[in-house]
Chains A and B, each alone.
Chain A
Amino acid sequence: MADESPVQPESKGEIGLLEKVKEELKPFQEKLEQDLAGMKAPQKTQLYKSIFRVKHDETPRSRSLGVLSNVFLHLHPARVNRDAVRYSYTWGMGGITFYLFIVLTFTGVLLMFYYHPSKIVAFRDILYLEHDVPFGKLLRNMHRWGAHLMIITVWLHMFRVFLTGSYKRPREFNWVVGVILLVLTLLLSFTGYLLPDDQLGFWAVTVGTNMARASPMLGHEGPLGPQFGMTPYNDVRFALLGGSIVDSNALLRAYIWHCIAIPIIASTFMIVHFWRVRKDGGISGPSPVGLAKEIKWDRLGER
């Protein structure tokens, strides 16, 4: 424009400049308007699409995809037995157990920031947590009570699975995996008990591991133990404690089992457990009741 009319009054030129700027900004303004319009529909943005991968709208198909195409939710099928979502069948105990495991992992990691697994220091760290760390007491309490609650919920979960006969074909193996998880849950609690290094934990673990020295063949006080060459310095108890008494090595071992080894092993078995729930055809019921006289006894072995 400026090239077309070289002789122009200043004022006119200023107006021209303003218009020019406006003209130049127009595309940006349009883009801005587009962006603002886009904000009203965030699900159309590249960022959103890159995260969620599929479009979501209020159709049954889309809801199913929303569950199936999400890493965390794809543990679930898209649809479930309408009566299984009632609380009355599963009591939600497996799910609550899993949720507590997550809460415990979370609070446990936070506790690890403040805890040193060595004699003297360990106990002081707990005092420090209780009195100086912001929310430290709450953190410790939540970890403690969460663990106790988890034990209760695993027991109740097992009881529910038994009452509904859910361990029967084809879910036999998942029950076995469950029993392993039960043992791991108890071991997690037990190894954690020693970590504050107070009288309570010390004597509980002393009582607990004293039983190990009575193991048949593997403990120095157990039947056939001495015949197998067991002494207080080479039997299973020694291996568990890293020594012949509950001391600093035992604390370190308990710490490593509690914070690293067992959580990894338990997580692995949980993955298998959930995978098998799905592969065995989802939750077992509530299914229609069977009648004794309808059983085809000769064809029962078939899967």
Chain B
Amino acid sequence: MDWHQLWVITSAPDNVPIVGLVFLVPFYVWYGLRQSFANDRLIAQLEADPALAKTHHRKTQPFQSDWSKEVPVWPFLLRIEFLAALIVTVILFVWSITLNAPLEEPANPSITMNPAKAPWYFLGLQEMLVYFDPWMAGVVLPTLIVVGLMAIPYMDMNPLGNGYYTYKQRKFAILAFCLGFIVLWVGMVVIGTFIRGPGWMWFWPGETWDHNRLIFEINRNLDDIFGITSAWGKGIFGAIVTGVYFAAAGYGTHKVILLTEFNRRVYARMTLLQYLALQFFLTTMLLLPVKIVLRLLFRIKYIWVTPWFNI
């Protein structure tokens, strides 16, 4: 266990924000889900007791029937905003006094940094470079992430859970988002920061960064395993494998989406375009963990090799 190496990584000034992230994200996940579960208990209670549902104010916040529903912004909101600004200012001052922003040697194209890392918030993208070629990892997938995020409100046709925390009423949406945001995005940022060392090689936390380490890992393509050698054969084989993947993943997500009676009603509301878009974004997102597993566990690099592009 090389504590020094671990310290060097975590205390690099530009990595300190991720150390913050590693605590803040779990905290807010817990904070949000706690309120979701509280609301879910209330929902269960109201569903079991229709008479209560008629009269109940339907919130978990403290309530008295003679309280007005609204409060004046001045002072009730403004004082909180003022306080928040004050606290953020203090945090920022303390942080800036105690920790200096990094400044390396002047830019020098002839001395490469190893590892050359992007700023931490882009390490998710850089980590994707391990699993996909640059045109996918650097251009296509980021574009799809942005477009997919924008499309969420137009694909989620579940009318429940608008304006309150809940898990039970939106299980699928919440799990899918957490997979994308927490597991994949934040997870890969953490891997990129704490695990990837010189040569973008995998070093477990506490393992010494050995700049001379060589790994003789033999990455194969899926077609090599099947002994396909001709370019045509590879292209067609890859197209079939990719097609099979999307069909299987699509079928799997379809089954999961239609698991409950309620979700089947939501599904019935969707147009074909909405549903196909949802399937497209979900299955493309799932391609990433699939390729991570293929690459890290089975040393398989590409599943589809053509003269023009590889996936």
Q: Which residues of A contact B (CB under 8 A)?
A: 60, 63-64, 66-67, 73, 76-83, 85-88, 91-92, 95-96, 99-100, 103, 120, 123, 126-127, 130, 137-138, 140-146, 148-149, 151-152, 155-156, 158-160, 162-169, 171-173, 175-176, 179, 182-183, 186, 189-190, 193, 196-204, 206-208, 210-216, 219, 221-224, 245-246, 284-293, 295, 297, 300
Query: Chain B residues near A160 (CB, 8 Å)?
Result: 28, 32
Partner of B73, one of A78, A155, A293: A78
Tell whether, in the assembled complex, residue B107 and residue A141 are in contact, meaning their CB atoms are under 8 Å apart.
no
The stretch of B158-166, B207-215, B231-239 that contacts the partner chain? B158-166
Tell whether, in the assembled complex, residue B164 and residue A79 are in contact, meaning their CB atoms are under 8 Å apart.
no
The distance from the CB of A268 to the nearest CB of chain B, in whole angstroms, is 18
Q: 10 closest A-B pairs (Cβ-Cβ)?
A: A211-B138, A285-B163, A288-B58, A214-B134, A202-B107, A172-B153, A141-B96, A287-B163, A144-B101, A199-B104
Per the bound structure, the CA–CA distance linking A87 and B80 in Å amounts to 8
B299 contacts chain A at the CB level, 8 A cutoff = no
Which residue, of A76, A141, A285, has the highest number of chain B Cβ atoms within 10 A? A141
Tell whether, in the assembled complex, residue A171 and residue B153 are in contact, meaning their CB atoms are under 8 Å apart.
yes
Give residues 79-124 of B contacting A (CB, 8 Å).
80-81, 84-85, 88-89, 91-93, 95-97, 99-109, 111-113, 116-119, 121-122
Per the bound structure, the CA–CA distance linking A83 and B174 in Å amounts to 23
B308 contacts chain A at the CB level, 8 A cutoff = yes
- Bin chain B's interface residue count: 35 or more
Per the bound structure, the CA–CA distance linking A190 and B118 in Å amounts to 9
Query: Chain B residues near A284 (CB, 8 Å)?
Result: 162-163
Q: List 5 A-B contacts (CB under 8 A).
A: A63-B74, A79-B73, A142-B96, A152-B21, A297-B269
Chain B 131-164: CB-based contact to A (< 8 A → 1; otherwise 0): 0011101111000001001101110100111111
Query: Chain B residues near A91 (CB, 8 Å)?
Result: 28, 31
Tell whether, in the assembled complex, residue B164 and residue A165 are in contact, meaning their CB atoms are under 8 Å apart.
yes
The distance from the CB of A234 to the nearest CB of chain B, in whole angstroms, is 17
Tell whether, in the assembled complex, residue A156 and residue B73 are in contact, meaning their CB atoms are under 8 Å apart.
no
B70 contacts chain A at the CB level, 8 A cutoff = yes
